[in-house]
Chain A
Amino acid sequence: MHNFDFVKPSTIADAAQALSHEGAQALSGGQTLIPTMKQRLAAPATLVSLTAIPEMQGVCLGDGGLHIGAATPHAVVAREAKAHYPALAALAGGIGDPAVRNRGTIGGSLANNDPAACYPSAVLASGATVVTNTRKIAADDYFQGLFSTALHDGEIITSIVFPIPEKAAYVKFDQPASRFALTGVFVAKYAGGVRVAVTGASQDGVFRWKDAEAALSADFSPAAIKGLAMESGTMIHDLHGTQAYRANLVKVLTGRAVAAALA
C-alpha cells in the first residue's frame, strides 16, 4: 500500500469539501477499496472517511419508505430493517462474511456498483431513490453499467429511500469461490406492479427483467414466468458459468424468488 492522508469529517459539507481536492477518494467500509490499495492497484492521495457523519448512519421509516443512511453497515441493515423490509434485511445478512457485513456499507456498495454485488438488485427492484449531497437519483437512472453510476466526481451518497413492497424476496446463487452473486434476483411486488431486478448475470450490470415484471404483475406466481425465455446474448461468460447458464439461472431464481415472496 502506498502512503496516503486520511481525514474523517463529521459533516457532509466537510466531506464534500475534502473530496473536492485532487487525488481525494471517498472511503466508506473499504471492503473493496482497501484490498485494491493493498495490491497497489489504487493509490489515492487522501482518503475521506464517510463513517463519522451522524446523518449517514442508521435505518428508519420516513417519507417515501425506509431510509437507510449510506454509511450504515450491512449487519446493521440486516438487524434494523428486518421489521420493515424483511427481504432487504435478508439480502444484507447474506452479503460476504461477518467481517464484511460489519465494515461494508450500503452506500459503498452502490457507489462501487460491482456487477455481482447484492444491493443494486434491491435498489433497482424497489424503485428506490439514491439521495446524494446534491440531488435525488431514481434507481432506474442511477445504475449505468459495470462499476459505473450516475454519480459525479466528489458526489456523496447520503442515504437510500426504499418504498416498502407488499411482498418481496431476494434469491442469490453463489459464485462458488467469492460467494458473490453468480446471479441474484430481487422480486418486489407493489400495488402498482411487480419489479424484478437481476444482479451478477449481465455484462451491463444490474438490470430489470421487464418481461417477467409484466407477467408477474398480471399473475404473481412462479407459473407466470414459465413460458418466458431470458435472452442470453448479454449475459456474462466466465470461469463460473456460461451465458446460457446464467440466463437459465435468471429464470430459475426469479421463480424461486416469487415462491419465497409468497411463502
Chain B
Amino acid sequence: MPKDGGIGASTKRREDVRFLTGKGRYTDDINIRGQLHAHFIRSQVAHGTIRKIDTRDAEAMPGVVKVFTSADFAGVGGIPTGWQVTSRDGSVMLEPKHPVLAEGKVRHVGDPIAVVVAETLDQARDAAEAVEIDIDELPAVMDMKAAVQGGPLVHDEIGSNLCYDWGFVEENRAAVDEAFKKAAHVTTLDLVNNRLIANPMEPRVAVGDYEDHSGQHTLYTTSQNPHVIRLLMGAFVLSIPEHKLRVVAPDVGGGFGSKIYHYAEEAFVTKAAQILKRPVKWTSSRSEAFISDAQGRDHQTRIQLALDADNNFMALRCETYANMGAYLSTFAPCIPTWLHGTLLAGNYKTPLVYTNVKAVFTNTVPVDAYRGAGRPEATFQLERVIDKAARELGVSPVELRRKNFIKPDQYPYQTPVAVVYDTGNYDATLDKLLELSDYAGFEARAAESKARGKLRGFGLAHYIEACGIAPSNLVGQLGARAGLYESATVRVNATGSITVFTGSHSHGQGHETTFAQVISDMIGIDASQVEIVHGDTSNTPMGMGTYGSRSLAVGGSAMVKATNKIINKAKKIAAHLMEASEADIELKDGKFTVAGTDKEKTWVDITLAAYVPHNYPLESIEPGLEETAFYDPSNFTYPAGAYGCELEVDPETGKVEILAFTAADDFGNVVNPMIVEGQVHGGLAQGIGQAMLEHCVFDENGQLLSGSFMDYAMPRADDVPFYSVDHSCATPCTHNPLGVKGCGEAGAIGSPPAVVNAVLDALHRGGFTNVTHIDMPVSPSRVWQAMHG
C-alpha cells in the first residue's frame, strides 16, 4: 500500500481547489496600473509584398498611443530557432529571418504587420481599421512538393523553399535499399499526417512591464518554459541581460506544445513597454490563435516495410515531407528529424531503418511540436504499414507484431536509429491489452453488429515514445542550441516545511501535487508540508520547462537529487546532535535514528538546528538547509504500450462510433495513478480528435478554411468512449532515481493508428477489401467515399 500522500497514492490534485473555485491566476488576470492594450493587425493574404503602411489617421484616433510597424523594431533581432539540422550533404539548414513584425513581405495569413497600442482594447481595434495597408498579393505556395519543385519562394533571400534534406541513418541508406531488393514481401503506404491546431483552452496572453529607474523588464506570458523565453528573447531578440529580465508564467490553461515557443507577441509587449514606459497587454482572441499559434504535424509520407519469407521485418524506409510553415518556430526543425527518425524502430527488432525528411517552407502558419511531436507521426506510419502488411500477407496483425517485438531479455537494446532502449516488455502490454479488451470475444460482438447492419472493427497499435530528451552533450551534437537538463532548489524552512523551486512548469500536469508526493515520501513528512513553486524566473533556478513528457523524469529527478543532498546534510546534523557516526543515521517517517540504539531526533529538531545553530558543527558544515541540483539524464526514457480501439462503422453514412478504447501502458513507476490516468484520458481524446475530427485546412490561396470551431472539429465528451486504462505492466526506467518514464503524450501517440486500423478492419469485414488506407481525419464523408466513392 502506498503511503497516504506519498509515491503511488492517488492523491487528489491540490491545484484543482483554486482552478475549480475560480481562484486560478492566469496571465489575462494580470492587470497593471496604467496598462495599455495592443491589437495586432495581421495579414489577410498568405503571401504579398508590403507597399505601404500609413498609420497617421489611426494615430490621431481617440486613445491611441502609438502604432508600431517593423520600422520601430529595426534594431531588434529576429525570433530565433532553437535547433539546427544538418542536411544529407553536410550543409546546415536554411534559416530565414523571422522578424517580430513583417518586414517587406507577409508570408502567411496571420503574419503580424502592425500593432495599435491604445488606452483600451476597443480603441485599439477601432484605430486598426484606420491603418492603411497596401499589399501586392503574390501567388501562395501551399503544396510541399510543388514548393520544392520551383514554386514561388516564401523567403526570396534564401533562394529555396527546402529548409533541409535530412537522412537518417545516412550510412544505412544503401544497406536498406539492398534489403528491399532481397525482400520476400514489400508493403508500401502513402499517407498524410494531418495538420492540427493545438487549441489550449486558454489562448496566449502577454503583458510587458518596464521599470525605467532600474531598467528592469518583466514579461508575464502563457508559457510552458519561462526560462527558455527569457534566454531566447533576452539574448537573441531584445538584447536584455537575464538579471534585468524577469519572465513569469503563472497559471497556464494548457499548452500541448503550442506554448513552448518564443512568439513575436512576447517580444513586442516587452519592447513596447520599454518604448512607451507603460505596461502593454495583448490577449489573443480565439480567431487569432487559429492563425498565430504554432500548429502541429502536417507530414506527407511514403513508408515501406520489407519482410522476409518468415515475416520478419528486414528493413523500413520512409520518405517524408514535413511542413515548416512560413517561418521556423522555436523547435520546428527537430520535430520531423530527431523526434521522428529515432522512433522508427518502434517496438520492433527491424535491423535496418532509413528515413529521409525534407522540411519545406510554405505560406502557412508555422508548425512545431504538438503533444507527441514527431513520435505520433512515426508511430502512425509504422503501425499503419504493419497492419497493411499483415493484411497483404494474410496473417494476424497481433501475431505479426508479436513475432517482431524486441523481447524482454534483449535490453538494453541498441536500435538501428541511434537510441538505446533501457527496458520494456511489449509482449506483456500486448497481452494485457488483449485481455482487457476481450479480444477473444470480438468475433461474437462483430457478428452482433453485423446483424444490426453495422460494421465492427478492432484496431491495434503498439507505440514507443522517447521522453526526457537528453543528455545535453548528445543533443548539442544533434543541433540543439539549448541544454536539456532540469533544475530544482529544495528550501527546507526552519520549522521543517519545505518549499521546492522547480524549473519544470505545470500547466495541467499536476506537479504541485505529484512533486510534493515525492518529497513527502523521501523524507516522511506530510505532503501538506511541501509547497511546489514554479513559473517565475526571479525565484526558480534556470530550468528548461515542461514538454515532451519530461517533467517527472527530468525535473523530478533534479528534485530528488537536491533532496538527497538535503538528507545527507540533515544526517550530518543529526549525527552531531545524537553524538553518533553519520553512517549509523537512518531517516524514516520523518525521524532520524541511530542504528542499534533508541536515540531519535525528529525532522523538525534537525531543521531547527540548521537555522538556530547553537549546538551545531559550524566548523564542518554551514548553517541552513537549502540545496540546488541540476539533473541531466544519461538517456531518454521509453514509455511503451498497446492500444486497442473497437468501433462500428455505419455503412450507409460512413459515421464511425468508437465503442471501446483500451490502453495498456508501461510508464515505469507511477507516482499518482489517478493523475496518470487523467493524462492518458486527455492524450487519448487528442489522439482520437486527430484520427476522427481535427483538420487544419488551407485553400490554394492560403486562406484558412478551418478558421473557427464552426469548421475545426475539436473532440467533445460524446465523441469519445469511456476508456479502459492500465499501467500495471511496468518496467521501471533504469537510469533515473524514480524509475519513471513519462505519460503525458502516450495517449496522443498510440491512439491515431489504433483508430484508423480499426476503421480499415471494419471495412474489410464489411467486404470493402479494396480500401487500403483512409487519411485522417476518418470523417464520415471520407469513410463513405472510401466505401462507395
Binding site for B on A (CB under 8 A): 1-2, 39-40, 173, 176-178, 180, 182, 238-242, 244-245, 248-249, 252
Contacts and interface: CB of A to CB of B under 8 A. Distances in A.
Contacts of A249: 653
B785 A242 contact: yes
14 contacts: A1-B122, A40-B125, A40-B129, A173-B653, A177-B714, A238-B705, A239-B695, A239-B705, A240-B711, A240-B781, A242-B781, A242-B785, A245-B781, A248-B653
B657 to A, nearest CB: 12
> B interface, by DSSP: helix, strand, loop or mixed?
loop
B722 interface: no
Nearest to B709: A177
Contacts of A1: 122
A252 B652 contact: yes
Nearest to A241: B781
A245 B785 contact: yes
- Name the residue in A176, A180, A182, A241 with the highest tally of chain B Cβ atoms < 10 Å from its Cβ: A176
Contacts of B236: none
B287 A39 contact: yes
B706 interface: yes
Contacts of B133: none
Given A176-B779, A239-B695, A252-B652, 14 more contacts: A40-B125, A40-B129, A173-B780, A176-B780, A177-B706, A177-B713, A177-B714, A178-B709, A239-B697, A239-B706, A241-B780, A242-B781, A245-B780, A252-B653
Nearest to B652: A252
A239 B711 contact: yes
Nearest to A240: B781
A248 B788 contact: yes
Given A239-B705, A244-B789, A176 B784 contact: no
Interface in B170-210: none
Contacts of B779: 176, 240
Contacts of B713: 176-177
B693 interface: yes
A115 B287 CA distance: 23
B710 interface: yes
Interface in B654-711: 654-655, 692-693, 695, 697, 705-706, 709-711
B652 A177 contact: no
Interface of B: 122, 125-126, 129, 287, 652-655, 692-693, 695, 697, 705-706, 709-714, 779-781, 784-785, 788-789
Nearest to A3: B122
A239 B777 CA distance: 11
B784 A245 contact: yes
B693 A177 contact: yes
Contacts of B652: 248, 252
Contacts of A2: 126
Contacts of A182: 780
Contacts of B697: 239
A40 to B, nearest CB: 7
A250 to B, nearest CB: 11
B781 A177 contact: no
- Name the residue in A39, A241, A245, A248 with the highest tally of chain B Cβ atoms < 10 Å from its Cβ: A245
A148 to B, nearest CB: 20
A222 to B, nearest CB: 11
- Name the residue in B780, B785, B789 with the highest tally of chain A Cβ atoms < 10 Å from its Cβ: B780
B653 A177 contact: no
A120 B693 CA distance: 27
Nearest to B287: A39
A243 B653 CA distance: 13
- Name the residue in B655, B692, B784 with the highest tally of chain A Cβ atoms < 10 Å from its Cβ: B784
Contacts of B126: 2
Contact of B710 (A173, A178, A248): A178
Nearest to B655: A173
A1 B123 CA distance: 11
Nearest to B716: A179
B785 A177 contact: no
Contacts of A241: 780-781
- Name the residue in A177, A238, A242, A244 with the highest tally of chain B Cβ atoms < 10 Å from its Cβ: A177
A66 B51 CA distance: 61
Contacts of B784: 245, 248
A241 B782 CA distance: 8
A62 B274 CA distance: 70
A177 B287 contact: no
B648 to A, nearest CB: 16
Contacts of A178: 709-711
Q: Which 7 A-B pairs have the closest CB atoms?
A: A177-B713, A241-B781, A176-B713, A178-B710, A245-B781, A252-B652, A177-B711
Nearest to B693: A176
A244 B786 CA distance: 12
- Name the residue in A2, A180, A182, A248 with the highest tally of chain B Cβ atoms < 10 Å from its Cβ: A248
Contacts of B780: 173, 176, 182, 241, 245
B303 to A, nearest CB: 26
A177 B710 contact: yes
A176 B782 CA distance: 13
A26 B242 CA distance: 56
A102 B697 CA distance: 32
B651 to A, nearest CB: 10
A182 B784 CA distance: 14
Nearest to B650: A252
Contacts of A245: 654, 780-781, 784-785
A2 to B, nearest CB: 8
B788 A177 contact: no
A178 B706 CA distance: 11
- Name the residue in A39, A178, A239, A242 with the highest tally of chain B Cβ atoms < 10 Å from its Cβ: A239
A76 B771 CA distance: 47
A244 B693 CA distance: 20
Contacts of B655: 173
Contacts of B693: 176-177
B474 to A, nearest CB: 42
A73 B5 CA distance: 50
A176 B656 CA distance: 11
A257 to B, nearest CB: 13
Contacts of B712: 177
Contacts of A173: 653, 655, 780
A125 B125 CA distance: 44
A180 B709 CA distance: 12
Nearest to A256: B652
Contacts of A248: 652-653, 784, 788
A133 to B, nearest CB: 32
B670 to A, nearest CB: 35
A40 B39 CA distance: 14
B693 to A, nearest CB: 5
A253 to B, nearest CB: 8
A215 B692 CA distance: 36
A20 B287 CA distance: 34
